[in-house]
Every structure is written in structure tokens, then in C-alpha cells.
Structure 1
Amino acid sequence: MSNDRQLQQDVIAELGWDAAVNASRIGVEAKNGIITLSGHVESYAQKWAAERAAQRVGGVKGVAVEMDVVLPGSSQRTDADIASAARNALEWNVLVPRDAVAVMVEDGHITLSGDVEWAYVRSAAESSVRGLQGVKDVSNLIRIRPQIKPSDVKTKIEAALQRRAHLDARSISVDVDKGTVTLAGTVDSLAERVTVENAVWNAPGVQKVVDNLIVAR
């Protein structure tokens, strides 16, 4: 059995294992370590969960998402209803400062904008609206505008990577130019690559991540 065939079966199994995903509606193809997900799902939350499930599988080097969100009749909502629900969800999330994030909705597609100081706030805002009924997609245009020195960012990121026992931080280089962090080196899996990216985004002052990491396996 070829590596791609095994990888395809592993991803299908992971999708079936994830309770947040209706795997029966999702097609999986594998080519040279790249997974393509296709088909139809009933919510944006399912689409997002399927993408993350595929990324968790060892040996996956990349994920192409070609799934469509087709809302059942019971999930249909007007843009005004979605915008109101999104506004309420953001206000109820203690991680998101009040009035820091603006919401625009068009045909079920949510666009978030505004300025915040931390990447975790940006992620929290998106998480707040991702699972709302009627949502077909989320575009996160929130900008990170912190007050911090690039040298401090580099130090904090390198320390965070060293604290993760399953990562070999010596194989990863970190370069910081203003708010842009460039990563280079090798990791053992796509899951490790995602772990490194998450660690970087958790550092104060990070506005953009250029991921040049190579998956070795």
C-alpha cells in the first residue's frame, strides 16, 4: 500500500473519530502528502473541524479545503440575525475587549475587523462566531497593534518553544522583523508545525507569521 493510500485512510479514520464532523459527506484524496477535502457540510464549524482533524494526522504535509457549506433549511438565518448573534457572542467572551472588534455579514459570510494587542484575542473573536447558526464562512481581518520590541518577541518565542517537550527547538530558527516572525527549519509532522505556529501567535507583538518550516516525514 502506498504512503498516500495509507494517509488517505488515516485521515478518513480521524474524520470519523471526530464527533464534530459528519465524515459521510466529506471526500478525501491524498497526493504526495497533500490532503484534499471535498464535499458538502452543513455548517462552517464542521468545515473548520474537518480541516483541523486532517491536520492532526501524522504524515500530512498540507491540507487543501474544497468543501462547500450548504445550510439546511432549519439553519438559515438573515444577515441581520447573524450580525446580532455575532455581536452578542463577542460581548459575552471575556477575552475580547468590548467594542474592539467590528462585525460585517454578507450572505452568511462574517468579516471581523478592528485592532487588538494580542493574537489570542484575534483567535478568541473568531472562535466566538465560528459556531453560530447560519454562518457559511469567517474572514478574520483583525489587526494586531502591540507596543513591544522585536528583540523581546524573539526571546519570548524561543523560550516558549523550548518549554514544549515534544519539540526539538534546536531545529527551528526564529527571525523577527518588527511584527513579522519568520520560521525556518524542520519538524516531524504537520501537527508539530501547527504547534509551533500556535506558540508563535501566543507571543505579544506578533502580527504576521511566515512559515518556512519543512515537514521531515
Structure 2
Amino acid sequence: MTRATGRPTDGQIQQDVSEELLWEPRIASTGVGVTVHDGVVTLTGQVGSYAERWAAERSAQRVRGVRAVADDLDVRLGVDGERTDAEVALAAVRALEWDSYVPAERFDVTVADGWVLLRGQVEFGFQRRAAERELRRLRGVRGITNLVRVSPRGASTGEELRRRIRRTLLRRVGTEGVTVEVAGAAVLLAGTVLTAADRDEADRIAWSTPGVRVVRTEVAVAG
């Protein structure tokens, strides 16, 4: 069946997200429910790890036409996934220490019932994200609350941040289709790109810009 051009319908998005979840090898659970309303996807059901939950959310975000994702998945650890809070905390500290991009000494880790609370202060937004990425891969983690603050050296105005991001977007993605709005240290990316890889790169560029604390990405994939 040939699809109509233009924005996909909610039914098409639901089908595409369901197929994307089945295609993603990091998602072992087959009982993830998908509902769609006005382009907003809601994921329900149970998964076996926090890493699997994150992979499901990212899979839904990749699908054309998705405006936002509401993640209502419940993490139910199996027998092999259970770890004590002490074991999770020790694994988290070691994982941060082994990542050369993460200033491990600047983080404080607390674990309660498998939920990791991450505090600290770093200079770059990508360091905050890298720390969370390391922790969500750990066995026994049920969820993560990332309270790490981004405090860069020197102050940048909103216009300076916008110019830096725009120049880097043009250099790496080569598109005028992404708009950049800055309010304080928060960045909003909007517009359209040709591929999901371009959208991910735009997100990485914003997070890697000195002075950025928060990034909201509303970039759509054309075609």
C-alpha cells in the first residue's frame, strides 16, 4: 500500500513505532503498548531494564511524524537483573571513573531501591549526558534522576550561544532548516532535516556548546 504524502496519520505512526520497537535489538520485551494522539506517542507496559526503557523511548522518537513521546513504561527487573543498592552504587562510581569524558570526581551518586540520584557540577552539557549514559547501562538500575548542574567557565550571552550553534550546524549538518532559539542557557531546536542522523547531530551540537544547560529538540525529519 502506498502512503499518502504529507504528515503521517496517528494510525501510520502507531504502526511505524510498533515496527521500530520490534526492529530494535536492544528491546527484548514484546509487550510494549503504543498509542498515538495528534502525533504524541505514549508507551505503556513493562520492560526488563532501564536501558531497555530508554531504547524504547529513543526508538519512538526516531519515527517520522512523532512530535513527542510520553514514557509510561514500568521497569521490572528479572532475577538476573536484581542488584543491591550498594552493588549498583559501586558499579556507578566505577563506570564514571572509567569514562575519560566524565570528570568523575565532580559527581555524587546515591541509590535507593535501584533508583540512581546523580548530583554534581560540570562545565559542559555533554558531560552531564555522558554520565547518565554510563549509568543507564548498568544492571540493576530502575531509573535515574539527573540533577547535575552545568556551570561553564566564563559567561556567554544568548546571542553568542545562538551564533555558535548556528555556525556548527552549518559546518556539520549543512542545513538552514534548523532554527535555534536561546533563552538564558536553554536552547530550543526546531525545523526540519533530511535524516534522523542529522537530527541527532543537531542535538549533540547544542549539548556540546559551552554555556548550554538545557536542550529541547523539536526537529522533524522530512520525507
Fold conserved between structures, TM > 0.5: yes
Report the Cα offset of residue 152 of structure 1. 3.7
Matches of 1:26 and 1:6, distance apart in 2: 17
Change (3 A) 1:99 1:216: closer
Change (3 A) 1:203 1:95: same
Q: More displaced, 193-202 or 44-53?
A: 193-202
Which residue of 59, 65, 84 maps to 1:59? 65
Give yes or no for the alignment of 1:9 onto 2:21: no
Report the Cα offset of residue 5 of structure 1. 1.3
Give the 5 Å matches for 1:129-140. Answer: 129-140=135-146
Give the aligned partner of residue 88 of structure 1: 94
Change (3 A) 1:129 1:214: closer
Give the aligned partner of residue 105 of structure 1: 111
Change (3 A) 1:159 1:20: same
Runs ≥4 residues deviating over 4 A? 188-195, 213-217
Q: More displaced, 57-66 or 186-195?
A: 186-195
Give the aligned partner of residue 187 of structure 1: 192
Give the aligned partner of residue 174 of structure 1: 181
Structure 1: gaps (5+ residues): none
Give the aligned partner of residue 164 of structure 2: 156
Give the aligned partner of residue 114 of structure 1: 120
Q: CA RMSD in A?
A: 2.4
Deviations 1:132-183 (A, max 9, x none): 11100011111101023225423211112212436434x5143353x233x3
Q: How many residues align?
A: 213
Q: What TM-score results when the alignment is normalised by the length of structure 1? A: 0.87
Structure 2: gaps (5+ residues): none
Give yes or no for the alignment of 1:202 onto 2:208: yes
Matches of 2:110 and 2:133, distance apart in 1: 16
